[in-house]
Amino acid sequence: MAQVVNRNESWGKSIRVENVQALADMIGGGGGEIPEIYIRPELDVGLTDQEAAIDDHNLPVIHMNRLLDPSFSVSTEESAKLDYACKEWGFFQLVNHGIDGELIDKMEGDLKEFFKLPLEEKELFAPLPGGLQGYGQKLLVNEEKLEWHDLLFLITQPLDDRNMKFWPTNPPTFRSTLERFSLELKRVLKSLFEVIGMKLGLKPEVISRVLSEYQGLRMHYYPPCPKASKVLGLNPHSDVGILTLLLQVGDVQGLQIKKNGKWLSVEAIQHALVVNVGDVLEILTNGKYISVEHRVTVSNKKERLSIAAHHRPKPDCMVGPLQELLHEEEEHNYNYKTMSYDEYIQLYLSGKVEGKSHMNSMRANK
């Protein structure tokens, strides 16, 4: 029986399921069919080698060095692009963010080496019963279809919330590389959120009141699937936190965002971070910035890897429109309810995880 774990893992009960990489190897060798729990008959979305053309549809590309360097005359223009991206897309590519390319390459290489290890070695880092940290596939009890991926999930910040039991020791450099990469992501997130806050007109004390030190890394491995058009690497969803920073490993595309009712593929730009607005940021801004539904498709030929850094508000932060962002005429025009973060998470987990449907329960009654 699954159990509720500590506060930073209390995202509902989870059940361990079959290793997808082993399942893919077995099916690829002619050893069986894809279990029905992975099949989504309504889909026809898989990427084949012939369908892998990049189609980025003008997803904004933000140069972080321009946002932070006061000597750049285009800094105002760049911050306007950032504001536009958060309002109209909920997603953008972040380049020139200051993370050394060699470190990114090393992180990507170490992650690939880990996922290549024999299953029995990787399972030394399997989650505890009901827990979320560690290696494997987990199914939240309110989901109906399994996703075509394996996962290494680690809480990397703050230091007190780490559980080194789940940090891989092979390859030998994995821990030290991840430590450096985590700190760089922390730096980028802090700087980016400060710029967003300034663009919104928020004072530094408001920003510090909202953003926590929490950083949770979801490292996904998506094996090739012979029926790629009938499965999903990640089901349609929006991220429940504040901001997510995503590193797409290699050049295999798979991330898709929903805009104007259509699924658009996001280009895998070398060393870029894909940034997306989370539900909490949408609520805090009263809908000025938007979280966007997204999903991951898989290839029938190539593996895909990614690293997603998720960030949350402080545990005592009230999730609701910020008074500081409401003009006088908007003071009684809240688009969302206000509740504690714990209440918000319980609301999210109380229903089926499907797209952004949970946000309907957060909308203010008018």
Q: Convert the pLDDT of each residue in 243-297 to its tens digit.
A: 999 999 999 999 999 999 999 999 999 999 999 999 999 999 999 999 999 999 9
Q: How far is CA 307 from CA 29, 284, 288, 330, in A?
A: 28, 26, 27, 38
Q: Which of 21-30, 197-206, 234-243 has the lowest mean pLDDT?
A: 21-30
Q: What does 300-326 look like in DSSP terms, one character per residue?
A: SS--EEEEEEE--B-TT-EES--GGG-
Q: Averaged over 346-351, what is the pLDDT?
A: 81
pLDDT, residue 50, reads: 41
Q: Is beta strand 138-140 parallel, antiparallel or unpaired with respect to 14-16?
A: antiparallel
Q: How far is CA 333 from CA 39, 326, 343, 364, in A?
A: 43, 9, 22, 9
CA 142-145-147 angle, 5° bins:
110
Confidence band, pLDDT 50/70/90 cuts, at residue 333: confident
More confident residue, 89 or 75: 89
Q: What does 195-207 look like in DSSP terms, one character per residue?
A: HHHHHHT--HHHH
SS3 352: coil
Q: Is beta strand 61-63 parallel, antiparallel or unpaired with respect to 91-95?
A: parallel
Residue ranges of the domains in the chain? 11-358
Q: Is beta strand 294-296 parallel, antiparallel or unpaired with respect to 273-277?
A: unpaired
Q: Averaged over 37-49, what is the pLDDT?
A: 69
Q: Do the Cβ atoms of 358 and 351 come closer than 8 Å?
A: yes
pLDDT, residue 75, reads: 67
Confidence band, pLDDT 50/70/90 cuts, at residue 143: low
CA distance between the termini of the chain: 41
**pLDDT of 10 higher than 90:** no
Phi, psi dihedral angles at 304 (to 5 degrees)? -140, 140
More confident residue, 352 or 99: 99
Q: Among 13-27, 53-67, 163-177, which range has the highest average pLDDT?
A: 163-177
Q: Do the Cβ atoms of 90 and 291 come closer than 8 Å?
A: yes
Residue 353, judged by CB atoms within 10 A of its CB (0-12, 13-18, 19+), counts as: middle
Confidence band, pLDDT 50/70/90 cuts, at residue 53: very low
Structure tokens at 136: 């494997």
**pLDDT of 149 higher than 80:** yes
pLDDT in tens, 310-331: 999 999 999 999 999 887 555 5
**pLDDT of 137 higher than 70:** no
Question: Which residue spans within the chain are E strands per DSSP?
Answer: 14-16, 61-63, 91-95, 134-136, 138-140, 150-157, 215-222, 234-237, 243-249, 255-259, 262-265, 273-277, 294-296, 304-310, 318-319, 339-340
**pLDDT of 363 higher than 80:** yes
What predicted TM-score, i.e. pTM, was given to this entire model? 0.91
What amino acid is encoded at 230 in this protein? Answer: K
Q: What is the mean pLDDT of the chain?
A: 87
More confident residue, 330 or 221: 221
pLDDT, residue 145, reads: 81
Percent of the chain with pLDDT over 90: 66
Which superfamily, per CATH, for 11-358?
B-lactam Antibiotic, Isopenicillin N Synthase; Chain (2.60.120.330)
Q: Do the Cβ atoms of 27 and 39 come closer than 8 Å?
A: no
Q: What residues have CB less than 8 Å from 157, skipping those under 6 apart?
A: 182, 186, 213, 214, 215
